[in-house]
Structure 1
Amino acid sequence: KMMKLTCISCMKREEVKVKTHVDWYYMTKVEQGVIYKYEGNFPMEMDGPFKGRLMWDGSQDLQDLSISIVNVTYNDSGVYECHVLREFEFDAFTPSAFVLKNITLKVKEEDTTALYSEIMMYLLLVFLTFWLLIEMVYCYRKISKSDDLYNPLCFEHKDNLVSVPASE
C-alpha cells in the first residue's frame, strides 16, 4: 500500500520569484531525522529506514509539498514534520517565510470484514447456481416421466364409448 503525507503551503502571489526548501522529518521519541529534502527543484531521499520507499508527490508549482511512502508498515506509524522555507526574491531585500506542519500517521491492520463478505457472496452465488441447475434437471425428469405415463390409447377409447341409458 501507499500512503500520502500531505503538506500544503500556498503562496499568496505566484508572480513573485521564490526559492523553496522543504525538509521532511520523522520524529522519534529520542531524535528527529531528515528523511527527505526538496531543494532547487531537486528532490533528494536521505539514507535511513525509508530509503527507497519515499517519492515526491507534490505539485509542480510547489503549493503542494507532499511525499508518499510506498509499502507502508506498522513501523512507519508516528509523527512526521514538513518544514517549508520560502525565500522571496525582491530587488532590495529577500524576506523569508517558514512553515511547519505536523502529520500523525497511524498504520492499522486492514479490516477483513469486506474480504470475508466478498468471499461469502461468491460462495452463495456458486451454491445458488448449482441448486438452480439441480432443480432444472429434477423438473425436466419429472416432466419427462409424466410424458411417459401418458397413454394416448386411453383417450382414443373414450370417443368409442357406447352410451347406455340410465335405468329408471
Structure 2
Amino acid sequence: MAPVRLLLLSVLCTLFAYRCDGACAEVDSDTEAVAGKGFKLGCISCKRRSEVPGSATVEWYFRPKGESDFVHIYTYKEDGPTIEHDLFTDRISWKGSKRSHDIQDASIYLLNVTFNDTGTYRCFLNRFLFYENYEYNILVDKVVHLNVVAKATRGTASIVSEVMMYVSIIGLQVWLLIEMIYCYRKIAAAGEEALREAANAEYLAIASESKDNCAGVQVGE
C-alpha cells in the first residue's frame, strides 16, 4: 500500500501548492480566430511577490496586417474601460482581473471577429508596486499575432496535446490495475496466512486437549 500512500501524498501536495502559489499562471494567448465568432486576446503578467500591494492600468494597441503603425484601441483603468477606436466600438469586452486594481490578467474579448482584425496586438500593462518607503513602476509588453480564418483548424500542438492526454489516461488506468492486482495478492496472502495460523492454533489446541485426556486416563489406571 506504500505506493498508494505516496501517490495520495503527491496529489495533496500538488493541490496545496497550486492553491497557494498557482493563483496566477502566464499562459500565451491563442493566435487563431474564426471569422464571425468571438475571440479572447490573452495578456497575463503575474507579480513575482504576491504579498506586495499594487495597481495597474492597461492599454491595447492594434496594427492591421500590412500596416506599419499601431493604433490605440482600448484602455482599462480604475474608473472603467474605454474603447479608443471606432473600428472596435461595441466589440471589445473586458475579460481580465475584476474587483481589484491590482491587475494581473489584462485579457480582452473581441466580438464578431472579421478578417480586418488580422494583425498584431500589443498589450501594455503599467504596474505600480507599493513598498513601505517607495513605489516601483514596471511596464509589461505582451504581443499577440492574430490570424483570422474562415474555419477553425487544428494545429500540431493541439493534436499532440490530445494524444498525450489519452496516453496519460491509459497509463493511469494500467497503473491502477497493477496496483489493484498487487493489493489483491497482498490481501489474499494475508488471508491465507491468517487461515494457516488459525489452523495451527486449532491443531495445537486439539493436540493439547488429547494429551491432557491421555494423562488423565493414565492417572486413573
Which band: TM-score by shorter chain? Answer: 0.5 to 0.7
Aligned to 2:31: none
Aligned to 1:23: 59
Report Cα offsets for 1:70-105 as digits up to 9, x if no partner: 000000000000011101122321111111011011
Structure with a larger share of its residues in helix:
2
Number of aligned residues: 111
Question: Where does 1:75-154 land on structure 2 (aligned, <5 Å)?
Answer: 75-110=116-151
Q: CA deviation at 1:53?
A: 0.2
Does residue 51 of the first structure (1) align with residue 89 of the second (2)?
Answer: yes
Partner Cα separation in structure 2 for residue 24 and residue 6 of structure 1? 11
Greater Rg by CA: 1
Partner Cα separation in structure 1 for residue 82 and residue 49 of structure 2? 27
Aligned to 1:4: 40
Superposition TM-score, scaled by structure 2 size = 0.47
Partner Cα separation in structure 2 for residue 73 and residue 45 of structure 1? 17
Equivalent position SS for 2:116:
helix
Report Cα offsets for 1:93-148 as digits up to 9, x if no partner: 1111111011011001126xxxxxxxxxxxxxxxxxxxxxxxxxxxxxxxxxxxxx
Partner Cα separation in structure 1 for residue 108 and residue 51 of structure 2? 25
Q: CA deviation at 1:41?
A: 5.3
Aligned residues: CA RMSD: 1.6
Q: CA deviation at 1:34?
A: 1.1
Range moving further from structure 2, 4-13 or 85-94: 85-94
Equivalent position SS for 1:4:
strand
Aligned to 1:72: 113
Partner Cα separation in structure 2 for residue 84 and residue 6 of structure 1? 12
Select which of 41, 46, 49 maps to 1:13.
Answer: 49
Percent identity of equivalent pairs: 35
Structure with a larger share of its residues in strand:
1
Report Cα offsets for 1:41-83 as digits up to 9, x if no partner: 5222113201110000112252211001000000000000001
